[in-house]
Amino acid sequence: MHLYVANKLYSSWSLRPWLLMTALDIPFSETVIPMYFPDSKARMLDVSPTGKMPVLIVPPSDMPAIGKEGKVLV
Protein backbone atom coordinates (compact mmCIF):
# COMPACT_ATOMS: atom_id res chain seq x y z
CA MET A 1 0.00 0.00 0.00
CA HIS A 2 1.13 3.54 -0.64
CA LEU A 3 0.04 6.50 1.47
CA TYR A 4 0.14 10.05 0.09
CA VAL A 5 0.08 12.67 2.82
CA ALA A 6 0.53 16.40 3.25
CA ASN A 7 2.74 17.81 6.01
CA LYS A 8 1.85 15.82 9.10
CA LEU A 9 2.72 18.83 11.24
CA TYR A 10 -0.12 20.87 9.73
CA SER A 11 -2.51 18.20 8.50
CA SER A 12 -4.12 16.04 11.16
CA TRP A 13 -6.00 14.34 8.31
CA SER A 14 -2.62 13.16 7.05
CA LEU A 15 -1.35 12.24 10.48
CA ARG A 16 -4.28 9.99 11.32
CA PRO A 17 -3.82 7.12 8.82
CA TRP A 18 -0.03 7.38 9.10
CA LEU A 19 -0.21 7.06 12.89
CA LEU A 20 -2.68 4.20 12.80
CA MET A 21 -0.81 2.21 10.17
CA THR A 22 2.52 2.83 11.90
CA ALA A 23 1.18 1.85 15.32
CA LEU A 24 -0.40 -1.31 13.90
CA ASP A 25 2.75 -2.22 11.91
CA ILE A 26 0.85 -2.22 8.64
CA PRO A 27 3.46 -2.14 5.89
CA PHE A 28 3.20 0.86 3.56
CA SER A 29 5.32 3.27 1.61
CA GLU A 30 4.79 7.01 1.81
CA THR A 31 4.99 10.14 -0.28
CA VAL A 32 4.76 13.55 1.38
CA ILE A 33 3.34 16.32 -0.83
CA PRO A 34 4.00 19.51 1.12
CA MET A 35 1.24 22.11 1.25
CA TYR A 36 1.61 25.80 0.43
CA PHE A 37 3.99 25.46 -2.54
CA PRO A 38 3.00 26.73 -5.98
CA ASP A 39 2.81 23.18 -7.35
CA SER A 40 1.18 21.58 -4.29
CA LYS A 41 -2.36 21.51 -5.68
CA ALA A 42 -1.28 20.11 -9.05
CA ARG A 43 0.76 17.38 -7.36
CA MET A 44 -2.18 16.48 -5.11
CA LEU A 45 -4.60 16.40 -8.04
CA ASP A 46 -2.25 13.97 -9.81
CA VAL A 47 -3.03 11.36 -7.16
CA SER A 48 -6.31 12.51 -5.57
CA PRO A 49 -9.54 13.40 -7.41
CA THR A 50 -10.41 15.91 -4.67
CA GLY A 51 -6.93 17.42 -4.64
CA LYS A 52 -6.73 16.73 -0.92
CA MET A 53 -4.56 14.52 1.21
CA PRO A 54 -4.37 11.86 2.50
CA VAL A 55 -4.92 9.17 -0.12
CA LEU A 56 -4.17 5.50 0.38
CA ILE A 57 -3.45 3.49 -2.74
CA VAL A 58 -4.37 -0.13 -2.21
CA PRO A 59 -3.42 -2.72 -4.80
CA PRO A 60 -6.61 -4.57 -5.79
CA SER A 61 -4.85 -7.82 -4.94
CA ASP A 62 -4.65 -6.64 -1.31
CA MET A 63 -8.30 -5.68 -1.07
CA PRO A 64 -10.49 -6.93 -3.95
CA ALA A 65 -13.64 -5.27 -2.57
CA ILE A 66 -12.12 -1.84 -3.04
CA GLY A 67 -12.50 -1.91 -6.82
CA LYS A 68 -10.21 -1.44 -9.77
CA GLU A 69 -8.73 1.93 -8.96
CA GLY A 70 -7.73 1.09 -5.40
CA LYS A 71 -7.84 4.65 -4.08
CA VAL A 72 -9.12 5.34 -0.60
CA LEU A 73 -9.72 8.98 0.26
CA VAL A 74 -9.45 9.20 4.01
Ligand X SMILES: N[C@@H](CCC(=O)N[C@@H](CS)C(=O)NCC(=O)O)C(=O)O
Contacts with ligand X by CB under 6 A lie at 6, 11, 13, 35, 41, 50-53, 73-74
Closer CB to ligand X, residue 51 or residue 64?
51
Give me the residues paired with residue 29 across strands: 2
Q: How far is the CB of 24 from ligand X (least distance, A)?
A: 20
Closer CB to ligand X, residue 64 or residue 67?
67
Q: Residue 24 and residue 39: Cα distance in Å, rounded? A: 33
Cβ within 8 Å of residue 63, ≥6 positions away: 70
Q: How far is the CB of 42 from ligand X (least distance, A)?
A: 10
Q: How far is the CB of 43 from ligand X (least distance, A)?
A: 10
Cβ within 8 Å of residue 34, ≥6 positions away: 6, 7, 40
